[in-house]
Amino acid sequence: MPPKPLVDLNAFDLDRLEYGPEEIRKRNPHRFEMELLHGVIAWRPEEGLVIGEHRASKEHFWVRGHIPGRPLFPGVLMVETAAQLCSFYWRCVYPDQEKFFGFGGIEQTKFRGSVVPGDRLIVAGRTAQLKARRAIFDCQGFVENRMIFECRIVGVLV
């Protein structure tokens, strides 16, 4: 049984982005195939909440080889999408930090479904701890309001 969602997605306009790709690039260094966070739907620092999206396309690099004839968005890339969302949040709070904010750990990860080309993965993150040198986020991913994954991401200065 999945845990309770971190956020009620119905309370947000999921068709409206607060931050698009250009704004994300100002905060996250990922480029080309590794730009997995396609938009930020909501950034609510007063609630410790961020919601973003990844739009799985048949043109993405993973489709050809993960799994031929039945392409699945790899779980590790789902978690990477969540990490990019968390990094975006952290960078909004600490914009003057020059070091890269990257993975320190991934905990309590469970996959509950799949993401295929044509799906829109909505990722929600909520801060459990937020400091300049370390942050912890609880994250969940959804496709059509169905929880696909959950994890806890630890981010650190690298």
- Burial of residue 44 (CB within 10 Å: 0-12, 13-18, 19+) is middle
54 is catalytic: no
Bridge partners, 137 (sequence order):
127, 153
Q: Among 115, 118, 136, which residue's Cα sits nearest to residue 127?
A: 136
**Tokens representing 113?**
């479904």
Which residues, 6+ apart, have CB-to-CB distance to 126 below 8 Å?
A: 6, 7, 47, 48, 49, 50, 137, 138, 139
Contact 90, 130 (CB under 8 A): yes
Catalytic residue numbers, as ranges: 66
